[in-house]
Structure 1
């Protein structure tokens, strides 16, 4: 169907166990001929067990969100087409908001509606205290277990307050929402269970813990590194779980819906730990970052109900691509820098009947051509298809250790700029290796080392300053990649120097490096 401003769609939200609705307010033309138009969708403040008629929905107002740190904001985003298949057309009425939003995002699932309603269930006094504290300045502090902490603290590393034994003292931080914990106890578990605002928890446990029960908490985002838990009980409304670091034992995860509605993200060494995770047979979304070698058959056996599967390689290889068709509920499939498969192995469109988004970036050249041709007709019928940056076999050999390989072929970045970025990285990496060897002689003080590092990093940043000055191309994503390439280099060097009693002020080095940039 042809989408028009004013069109209203309803869709089911499993968290609310009810329907929600949105209105298309604007059609945003694509920047390029081969891209699809975007749609600005405005969430409406309504839920119901059955869809309303268009006349009934005319009385509904836009959803205004003010939970946690939001401040009376409309849930209004631009998303790439097509309209998701689970959206049901209801009708059309006058557009409620004339101004087009500036923010982009994925198609709305109604999660903000759920969060807003949960927020409104908390007593008004607590919500007002939360808002007041979140707007306080840095000079306002409170004492907790002998340590002074800013009143507006949102996230807290628990090792910052080493003498804390009575966790109710944390109530002096009215807008605390995020805890990073290094030791687990029943007292801390009870506190998290009874706290109204803590929804994000990160565990960096120093010792193994047999069981953690978060079932009756408001935790919706959970990160564990390293993975020292044997049994984890999570709330039914858990939204995102992230695992980092290797895992050598089974972890049993108890969830009321066996993973339905959860996004599981596995990073780096944790990518293959899905083999040790039990209890998530109905997992909805799996994201694998810095993958090297993925057996797709294993993934499908463990998570047969996936609706979305996304993989980023370092680069990486996929084995068993011909089994992808077994994911009968698959709606989105994304790969970046993943190789090892051919176009003949990739399922045909009729084998993935639920698929509405297929994004493949930096993949084997022959596979890219075959898949693009095979899905050409499906794209005309509404599939969101993007097949970019096909790679020849020699490209992979040349870019295994290049953190800027994604720049090769990216819109807005020339081949010369991509090549120069790779050269700057190789240069600083070589300089740091040589520098570490020199430091081993014991002839340099910590101060000498700090100054030398600042000089080395200034050369790296100035190189990007010059590139961007000739033709601006470094924006938020590129800026993060430039600094992200430095992170493992700095971390590795700091550990290496610590072993020979040379201390580096890493925070100061990052500040110095950031001040140098013009982009």
Structure 2
């Protein structure tokens, strides 16, 4: 085992180290080898080994040490090898060190360590179970989650992983009552409200918590290490400022024990109020978008929105279609200029720019009580004909 260093992983790791952990899908222990350490990006290369069994005491407990090659689905014999966050999760331990079984670096990157999951999929594939799916995992729409959390609904004790995005509201009390045995919880909103978030402390088996774009939480809702001692991933993005600071203060000392803490975009109440009707709000704080560009982008969107709402009236009008096409062209040209010599509008941003216009059109349709198919088409045609992004 490597000695601790000031510029190395929080839990000591060295190249050649073999790490082991229990895997729920297999019901056995699994193993991986550390192939490289990148202090600049705070990543380590993790090569899965083709082994599972009872908890090992030393590396001598392995009959052979071979890398895991994947043939399921379209992997075509590639190694299960990726660069992961360099915080060794608390359920993992270093067993010892062996010569590298593969000395090439991986070009694949991921934040989470999930050693054993690919081995479980490969074993199922080898058994002929080509439609095998992970048990205990649910991905629900907001409407489906609301139905599951309704009063009188039965508990779902077998569910271990829950993922829901697009939430406008969710209640932590109901959620933890229905899903008491969660090990991974992902909740995403759209400036949604998260009530009773402190009830997440009931989830004593929780290993991963991922929350984005939800609000209403305060420092009193802070997750406590004593209540969720197995937590390995804490990922908060665009959450209340007060809650973010409290969570960071509570959990940063747990990094050396194996909890990866990633807290970004702590939002103050003023920001939430200002961005209620701003579909480009996620650009604020995005790595490759400067604050100045974000401000100009929002100003341009608001200008286009005002003109669009004023332009589209209760009755269809041919002249309106021509003006909407011009408006779309102006929108595209404005963002061409903003993109400039150092482009920042990539695939995600392009989709968001179109989605922003569609949001305004939908808003106007609801106000007028009629379909705006022709108007929408004219607007977007104007954009398509002039955009460089």
Question: So what's the TM-score if we normalise by structure 1?
Answer: 0.63
The 5-angstrom pairing of residues 362-401 of structure 1 reads 362-401=238-277
1:119 to 125, 129, 132: 125
Q: 1:518 to 1:70 in 2, by over 3 A?
A: farther
The 5-angstrom pairing of residues 333-482 of structure 1 reads 333-437=209-313, 440-444=314-318, 449=321, 455-482=326-353
- Following the alignment from structure 2 to structure 1, what is the Cα–Cα distance between the partners of residues 354 and 60? 52
Q: SS at 1:316's partner residue?
A: strand
Report what 1:320 is aligned to. Answer: 196
For residues 315-352 of structure 1, the C-alpha deviation after alignment (integer angstroms, 9 at most, x for no partner) is 12222233221111112222222222221331433232
Q: SS at 2:52's partner residue?
A: coil
Retained in 1: the 8 A contact 2:365–2:372?
no
For residues 200-252 of structure 1, the C-alpha deviation after alignment (integer angstroms, 9 at most, x for no partner) is xxxxxxxxxxxxxxxxxx4x3xxxxxxxxxxxxxxxx44xxxxxxxxxxxxxx
The 5-angstrom pairing of residues 188-227 of structure 1 reads 199=131, 218=132, 220=133
- Following the alignment from structure 1 to structure 2, what is the Cα–Cα distance between the partners of residues 409 and 300? 31
Unaligned runs of 5+ in 1: 32-36, 123-195, 200-217, 221-236, 239-258
User: CA shift at 1:15, angstroms?
Assistant: 2.9
Report what 1:274 is aligned to. Answer: 148
Unaligned runs of 5+ in 2: 1-10
User: CA shift at 1:495, angstroms?
Assistant: 9.9
Retained in 2: the 8 A contact 1:341–1:364?
yes
Q: 1:354 to 1:422 in 2, by over 3 A?
A: same
1:7 to 17, 21, 28: 17
Report what 2:78 is aligned to. Answer: 73
For residues 127-164 of structure 1, the C-alpha deviation after alignment (integer angstroms, 9 at most, x for no partner) is xxxxxxxxxxxxxxxxxxxxxxxxxxxxxxxxxxxxxx
Retained in 2: the 8 A contact 1:296–1:323?
yes
Report what 1:295 is aligned to. Answer: 171
Number of residue-to-residue matches in the alignment = 376
Q: 1:268 to 1:434 in 2, by over 3 A?
A: farther
Q: SS at 2:236's partner residue?
A: strand
- Following the alignment from structure 2 to structure 1, what is the Cα–Cα distance between the partners of residues 14 and 252? 25
Report what 1:150 is aligned to. Answer: none
Report what 1:16 is aligned to. Answer: 26
- Following the alignment from structure 2 to structure 1, what is the Cα–Cα distance between the partners of residues 244 and 187? 16
Retained in 2: the 8 A contact 1:286–1:310?
yes
1:48 to 49, 53, 58: 53
User: CA shift at 1:301, angstroms?
Assistant: 0.7
Retained in 1: the 8 A contact 2:91–2:230?
no
Report what 1:256 is aligned to. Answer: none
Q: 1:476 to 1:24 in 2, by over 3 A?
A: farther
- Following the alignment from structure 1 to structure 2, what is the Cα–Cα distance between the partners of residues 323 and 24? 37
For residues 98-141 of structure 1, the C-alpha deviation after alignment (integer angstroms, 9 at most, x for no partner) is 3322222221242322322333334xxxxxxxxxxxxxxxxxxx
Question: So what's the TM-score if we normalise by structure 2?
Answer: 0.81
Task: Select the structure with the greater relative contact order (CA < 8 A; seq sep ≥ 6).
Answer: 2
CA RMSD, Structure 1 to Structure 2 (Å): 3.5
